[in-house]
């Protein structure tokens, strides 16, 4: 075997070995424009709604999630990435953000500094589940949390923020689904009714739902198995078991939304996948992502603060899956990419040395500037400038340096003008910005 063939074989084997982990994806430059656009617009919107950013660690104590999310949920029982540290403590990569934000809120006594806190976080979450369209094992969420107000006005404000988020991103054909899960006073009565119903249907449930029926029957509503969905289609509705306070809360929320012209569907089987929800729960759904049709979801979690060792403060929040949003945006067209304001095409060693100094000065003046470092022909440099989307190209060589002028080409029209080298940096900055 030739040496070249051996090298190719070794290279091929190395490439096979060093690939990304299943369910973990590289975000390449041609896709990063979607991410940047979403984050820029969402941060602006959250500022308008007076939310402040909080950043929590990726790694937390496992008990935070098993207690906060619920030991019997699929997330805790099947999907968490957990490990033991050198002292034998169980740690977990965060599978969702709310429990971590509540932990930070309690630990740092944010409730003492300001009773009403409006917080958001953007970042990766981790769940060991089957990778699918819009959901990977490392996925990203926008999480919004409002602490300190128990009323339906806060629910309506949070829901309006979620809807507005999709509007500013240009996404339509979405449906708001709404439900109430009751409170600690009325939910036990409903669970008794549901248990009696499920006892007669046990043989028609999947293995997971047979277990859920024993430990937390509300979870059966969340199952996507067709047989279980058929069983739950005729299950009792929690709305029929709400106490007077929960009925009033839910009615007032609907009145807020109706007064704002917001349409919604009452979905009495909507429970979401986490144990900490109480009263209001909602999802924003689309028909364009298959079975995993929720692009945002959330609700009220008034008992979570106390459950995690904090004061009895009410809270409501929601999460948006960024991968699912990007899947929808891709259907609308390619993302805009960052392109240079100016490309400097320098011919000859002297011109390249001077051009290199120019691009540093132009970048300091806030113009995105690029040049070629390989002494290629003018034709090759112009072709490259066009490929990276440069708006203007400055052409400079020995002749131009001797004459004290350079040639500036507009890449969209092909027109060219001579520009003097004296005061070039200021002239370029002024000319390019005037056409923004």
**Digit-coded pLDDT (tens) for 147-197:** 999 999 999 999 999 999 999 999 888 999 999 999 888 888 888 888 888
Q: Which domains does the chain have, with CATH numbers?
A: 29-186+242-332 (3.30.930.10), 342-434 (3.40.50.800)
What secondary structure does DSSP assign to 170-209, as a single string? Answer: T--S-EEEEEE---TTTHHHHHHHHHHHHHTTGGGS-HHH
pLDDT of residue 255: 96
**Distance between CA atoms of residues 15 and 26, nearest Å:** 15
Tokens of 260: 């704002």
Residue 435 has pLDDT above 70, yes or no: no
The structure's pTM equals 0.83
| 99 burial type by CB count under 10 A (0-12 exposed, 13-18 middle, 19+ buried) | buried
Question: For residue range 234-258, what is the model confidence (pLDDT) as tens digits?
Answer: 888 888 889 999 999 999 999 999 9
Model confidence at 2, pLDDT cuts 50, 70, 90, reads low
| pLDDT the model gives residue 297 | 93
* Closest residue by Cα to residue 77 from 219, 188, 192: 219
With b meaning 16 or more CB within 10 Å and e meaning fewer, what string describes 332-352?
eeebeeeebbbbbbbbbeebb
Better-scored residue on pLDDT, 35 or 17: 35
Could you report the per-residue pLDDT of 295-343, keeping only the tens digit for each?
999 999 998 999 999 998 999 999 999 999 998 998 887 776 778 999 9
Sign (positive/negative) of CA torsion 141, 263, 158, 279? negative
The mean pLDDT of 74-82, rounded to a whole number, is 86
Q: What is the pLDDT of residue 63?
A: 92
**Per-residue pLDDT tens over the stretch 103-150:** 999 999 999 988 899 999 999 999 998 877 667 899 999 999 999 999
Residue 13 has pLDDT above 80, yes or no: no
Q: How many helices (H) and strands (E) does the chain have?
A: 17, 16
Bridge partners, residue 92, by sequence: 60, 82
Cα 299–Cα 302–Cα 305 angle in degrees, nearest 5? 115
Dump the DSSP string for 408-422: EEETTT--EEEEEST
| Predicted pLDDT at 204 | 85
Element containing residue 403 per DSSP (H, E): helix 398-403
Rounded to whole angstroms, the Cα distance separating 263 from 406 reads 60
296 half-sphere exposure, CB direction, 13 A CA radius? 27
pLDDT of residue 191: 85
* Maximal C-alpha separation, the chain: 94
* Residue 357 pLDDT class (50, 70, 90 cuts): very high
Alpha carbon 287 to chain centroid distance? 19
pLDDT for the residue numbered 217: 82
Is the pLDDT confidence value at 16 over 60?
Answer: no
In order of 193, 232, 239, 270, the CA distances from 198 in angstroms are 9, 9, 18, 17
Q: What is the pLDDT of residue 12?
A: 56
> Has residue 273 got a pLDDT over 80?
no
Task: Output the pLDDT for position 215.
Answer: 78
């Amino acid at each position: 075997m030739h040496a070249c063939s051996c090298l190719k074989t070794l290279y091929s084997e190395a490439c096979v070995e060093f690939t990304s982990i299943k369910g973990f994806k590289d975000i390449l430059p041609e896709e990063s424009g979607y991410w940047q656009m979403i984050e820029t617009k969402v941060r602006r919107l959250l500022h308008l709604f007076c939310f402040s950013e909080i950043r929590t660690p990726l790694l937390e104590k496992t008990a935070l999630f098993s207690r906060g999310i619920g030991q019997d949920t699929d997330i805790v029982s099947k999907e968490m990435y957990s490990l033991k540290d050198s002292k034998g403590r169980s740690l977990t990569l965060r599978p969702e953000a709310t429990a971590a934000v509540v932990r930070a809120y309690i630990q740092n006594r944010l409730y003492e500094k300001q009773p009403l806190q409006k917080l958001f976080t953007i970042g990766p979450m981790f769940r060991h589940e089957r990778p699918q369209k819009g959901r990977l094992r490392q996925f990203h969420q926008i999480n919004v949390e409002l602490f300190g107000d128990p009323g339906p006005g806060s629910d309506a404000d949070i829901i309006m923020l979620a809807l507005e988020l999709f509007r500013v991103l240009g996404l339509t054909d979405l449906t708001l689904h709404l439900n109430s899960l009751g409170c600690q006073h009325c939910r036990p009565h409903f669970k008794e009714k549901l248990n009696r119903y499920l006892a007669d249907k046990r043989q028609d449930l999947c293995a997971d739902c047979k277990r859920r029926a024993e430990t937390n029957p509300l979870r059966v509503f969340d199952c996507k198995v067709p047989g279980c969905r058929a069983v739950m289609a005729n299950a009792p509705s929690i709305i029929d078991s709400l106490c007077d306070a929960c009925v009033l809360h839910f009615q007032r929320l609907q009145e807020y939304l109706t007064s704002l012209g917001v349409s919604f569907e009452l979905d009495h089987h909507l429970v979401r996948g986490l144990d900490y929800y109480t009263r209001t729960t909602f999802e924003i759904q689309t028909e364009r992502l298959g079975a995993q049709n929720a692009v945002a979801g959330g609700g009220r979690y008034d008992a979570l603060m106390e459950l995690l060792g904090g004061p009895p403060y009410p809270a409501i929040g929601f999460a948006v899956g960024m991968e699912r949003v990007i899947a929808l945006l891709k259907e609308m067209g390619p993302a805009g990419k960052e392109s240079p304001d100016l490309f400097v095409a320098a011919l000859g060693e002297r011109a390249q040395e001077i051009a290199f100094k120019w691009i540093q000065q132009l970048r300091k003046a806030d113009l995105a500037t690029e040049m070629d470092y390989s002494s290629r022909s003018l034709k090759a440099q112009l072709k490259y400038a066009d490929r990276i989307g440069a708006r203007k190209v400055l052409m400079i060589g020995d002749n131009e340096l001797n004459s004290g002028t350079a040639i500036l080409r507009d890449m969209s029209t092909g027109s060219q003008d001579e520009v003097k080298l004296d005061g070039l940096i200021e002239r370029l900055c002024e000319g390019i910005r005037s056409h923004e």
